[in-house]
Amino acid sequence: MRLMKLLGIALGGLASLYIAASAGLYIAMRQPPERFGAIMSKVPMVAMMILPFKPLWMSARAGHLAVGQAAPDFALQTVDRSRTVRLSREWRERPIVLIFGSYT
């Protein structure tokens, strides 16, 4: 009976630690990219294998736009850094299609 009680305490402690680590990771994911990168550089790789990284990431970075809503305005430099492109300015001149992804 004593062994079962100790096992229950140990499992409860591990579950609490897992929940706390997952919550900490989620909070880190909600930070600006520079700060998130600084935090993640200190997280051991084994944590990425144990914690639910992908579901937390999809929730933390989901955004709040619905289909048909206007995208928030932003500015980016062109690849050759010759000029800055602002979404609101370009949209007035022609239709814009935003594609996010990797082509590698």
Give the DSSP H or E segment for 84. Answer: strand 84-86
Give the DSSP H or E segment for 4. Answer: helix 2-29
Segment 55-77, tens digit of pLDDT: 998 888 887 778 888 888 889 89
Average pLDDT of span 17-25: 94
CA–CA gap between residue 98 and residue 85 (Å, rounded): 13
pTM of the predicted structure, to 2 decimals: 0.61
